[in-house]
Amino acid sequence: MANTARLSGLVGLAALAGLAAAVLVGGAAEPAIGALPVFVLVSLSLVVGLSTAASP
């Protein structure tokens, strides 16, 4: 149970950090490609990164 909670906490932390990065870049830097593509690509980074624990 404690391990599951720790796992969920770490994943949640990563998700929050990633989304915060996307909001900061999308909002503050005003990229030419638009805020939504930045947000979704950072989300993809998050999903791909969190899915690769098994990789060497």
Partner 1 sequence: MVGQIGPLVQVGRKRTALALHVVGGLAGGAVIGVVLGFGGLLLRAALGGTLDTVFVVVVTAALLYAAAVDLGVLRLSPVTWERQTPGSWPCSLGHYPGIFGWGFDLGLGITTRIPYQSLLVLPLAALLSGDLATAVAITAVYGASRALAVVAAVSAAGDDYAAACDAIQTRVLPLKRLVGATGLVIAALIVIS
Phi-psi region of 31 (alpha: psi -120 to 50; beta: other; left: phi over 0): beta
Total residues binding partner 1 (CB under 8 A):
40
Sites for partner 1 among residues 11-50 (CB under 8 A):
11, 13-14, 17-18, 21-22, 24-25, 28-29, 31-34, 36-38, 40-50
CA-CA distance, 23 to 4, in Å (whole number)?
28
For residue 1, state whether it binds partner 1 (rule: CB under 8 A): no
CA-CA distance, 40 to 6, in Å (whole number)?
26
Which residues form the interface with partner 1 (CB under 8 A)? 3-4, 6-7, 10-11, 13-14, 17-18, 21-22, 24-25, 28-29, 31-34, 36-38, 40-56
